[in-house]
Amino acid sequence: MHKEKNKFKRILWIVLTLLVLTLTGSTLYLQWYALEAGGNERGKNLETSYAFMYEHYPFLSHWVDSLQRENALRDTFILAEDGVRLHALYLYADTLTAHTAVAVHGYTDNAVRMLHIAYLYNHDLHYNVLLPDLRFAGQSEGDHIQMGWKDRLDVLRWMEVANELFAPEGSQTRMVVHGISMGAATTMCVSGEVQHGMYQQPFIKCFVEDCGYTSAWDEFKGELKNQFGLPAFPLLNVASALCNMEYGWSFQEASPLKQVKKCTLPMLFIHGDADTFVPTWMVYPLYEAKPEPKELWIVPGAEHAVAYKENPEEYTRKVSDFVGKYIH
């Protein structure tokens, strides 16, 4: 009887050890897959990023070439408070103006992959434009993707830089922040700060968010199910706890939904009705949570982050009409 009990204990110990090792390995893989893009270097490769943009937005090639010939598409760098070196592209409007846009890229993208939005604001609307590389993207340093949460602090700093670069002498800019996908989540996270406390920035007039998610938790939960057929518990819980231990933020904390509740500046919400990566349903609680003024455009047939690509004229008109109400 005693031998049987010992045997059972050994088997139980082995099973529990295997379960812990499996959970730990799976969680570390999930964290690597989600926060380091599974080794995907797309956001770091500038050559392929330019090639991608010229293939999908052919009109950009001539425009960017002309900017580069005139040294009008410029680089700038700053040091974040934690010593990380951050990069952005910027370009002036063709006439002196306070009208300014900060355009924020998405997951595994970079500043180059937001040149179509730069074209909208700079070429079509005659705005100054700044395009930051978020951490772990483009020419910025950083050891992981921050899903828009801590990125909000870097973007707030970039907004100050844009105001210093572009403000006519003796005045301030009039600025819109426009983000796509994770950049839209970042934009919404920023929106909850600019009217409060140490982050007050009176030159911010409005926001445009295009296909952003409700929270990092919700987005990862959906991807766990869609990509791997797995429930959130326990992997996501453990991965979020490890992220908090290693990087100082949790997946639940990274919540654009909570941030937009604090924002009373105008916001335009854009989402494709065929989006399955950041599913369309997410835009509705975001829109409902945001106090007025706000507008919502659901783009028929658009999948994730292609609303401008598939509807450039209507997209430009919608954005122009919206920002024109608040930046003039």
pLDDT at position 169, please?
Answer: 87
Residue 85 placed within a domain: yes
pLDDT, residue 163, reads: 97
Residue 301 lies in a domain: yes
Maximum distance among all Cα pairs of the chain, rounded to whole angstroms: 90
How many domains does the chain contain in total? Answer: 1
CATH number of the domain bearing residue 105: 3.40.50.1820
* Domain ranges, residue 296: 40-215+254-324
Helix 235-247 vs helix 216-228: crossing angle, to nearest 10: 130
pLDDT at 197: 75
State the Cα–Cα distance between residues 77 and 161, nearest whole angstrom.
Answer: 10
| Residue 137, domain member (yes or no) | yes
* Residue 222 falls inside a structural domain: no
Q: Are 66 and 94 spatial neighbours (Cβ–Cβ below 8 Å)?
A: no
Alpha carbons 32 and 101: distance in angstroms, whole number: 32
pLDDT, position 238: 87
Tell me which amino acid residue 38 is: G
In-domain check, residue 31:
no
Determine whether 206 is exposed, middle or buried from the number of CB atoms within 10 Å of its CB (0-12, 13-18, 19+): buried
In a domain, 223, yes or no: no
Check residue 98 and give its pLDDT: 97
The candidate with the shortest Cα–Cα distance to 216, out of 130, 127, 278, is 278
pLDDT recorded at residue 38: 64
Q: Give the global pTM.
A: 0.92
61, part of any domain: yes
Going from the C-alpha of 228 to that of each of 9, 15, 73, 147, 221, the distances in angstroms are 33, 23, 41, 20, 10
Instruction: List average pLDDT for each run of 10 residues in the chain, which is 328 residues long.
Output: 54 46 54 70 91 97 97 98 96 97 97 98 98 97 94 97 94 97 98 86 96 97 88 88 92 97 97 97 98 98 98 98 97
Let me know if residue 114 belongs to a domain: yes
